[in-house]
Amino acid sequence: MTDSAKAHAPILAAGGIVLRGTTRPRFAIVRMRREKAWVLPKGKLMPREHPRDAARREVLEETGHEVSVHKFLGSMAYPALGRIKIVQFWLMRASSLPERELSNDVKAVKWLPLKQAIETLSRPHEKVFLTHVGPIALGEIKKSEKKKTRSAKKRRSAGTPATPHVIAMDYEKARPSAFAKALGKWFGRTAHTGLRKAG
């Protein structure tokens, strides 16, 4: 690539719309030390680096959290340093605790509800982008939680039935009363009937 082509080539970057928590998910935004701006976590691609890998690396560096990368959410393009910068974003889920220190160019991380995250962002194009993709990200989180709940219910209903009530006694210290014996027999019959029906 000639110097002239390099000067006009777009700057390629990648980042994450990073959420933490399930019942009330929070979005990560980071404060850059030099510009003092609140931004979405992102950064430039290294030579021959896949955008998805770059997005994960940059998010770890800027938030300190390991993430799982999910659905591609879209791209954002804007002028930067006399060129066009194109940033691709993925939906990410953060680990509950930070794994490492923040990179030197990041001063702080905030985890905020969607509306507050949009209001706090410093750059208008990022506000617009998060306004559009934030609800999609929340919808994906809800969908994945419903799938987990459904599959957990299926696992519980499949295979061996759940164990019914169990009465445990220390026969050395206490002689079971007639009531405890009768209750134990009743539980035994109930469990046996449940197993026959399941089989």
65 in any annotated domain: yes
Residue 182 phi, psi (nearest 5): -65, -40
172 in any annotated domain: yes
* Same-domain status, 191 and 165: yes
CATH number of the domain to which 111 belongs: 3.90.79.10
* Same-domain status, 132 and 187: no
* Same-domain status, 29 and 63: yes
- Mean pLDDT of the 22-50 span: 94
133 in any annotated domain: yes
Which structure tokens are listed for 65? 């959290």
* Same-domain status, 142 and 172: no
Q: Return d(Cα 123, Cα 120) in angstroms, integer.
A: 9
* Same-domain status, 106 and 135: yes
Please give the pLDDT value at position 106.
Answer: 94
The number of domains in the chain is 2
* Same-domain status, 36 and 116: yes
Please give the pLDDT value at position 121.
Answer: 98
193 in any annotated domain: yes
95 in any annotated domain: yes
Angle at 65 between CA 63 and CA 69, to 5 degrees: 105
The string of pLDDT tens digits covering residues 60-115 is: 999 999 999 999 999 999 998 889 999 999 999 998 788 888 888 999 999 999 99
The string of pLDDT tens digits covering residues 134-192 is: 999 999 988 887 776 676 666 655 554 443 333 334 444 445 555 555 555 554 554 44
User: Which is higher by pLDDT, 120 or 197?
Assistant: 120
Q: Under a CB-based contact definition with an 8 Å cutoff, are residues 110 and 35 in contact?
A: no
- Mean pLDDT of the 33-48 span: 94
* Same-domain status, 42 and 109: yes
Please give the pLDDT value at position 156.
Answer: 58
Residue 118 phi, psi (nearest 5): -60, -45
155 in any annotated domain: no
Domain coverage including residue 193: 161-199
Please give the pLDDT value at position 98.
Answer: 81
Please give the pLDDT value at position 88.
Answer: 97
CA distances from 16 to 20, 34, 137 (A): 12, 21, 11
With 0.75 as the threshold, say if the pTM is over it: no
DSSP labels, 16-73? EEEEE-SSS-EEEEEEETTT--EE-SEEEPPTT--HHHHHHHHHHHHH---EEEEEEE
Q: Return d(Cα 91, Cα 114) in angstroms, integer.
A: 14
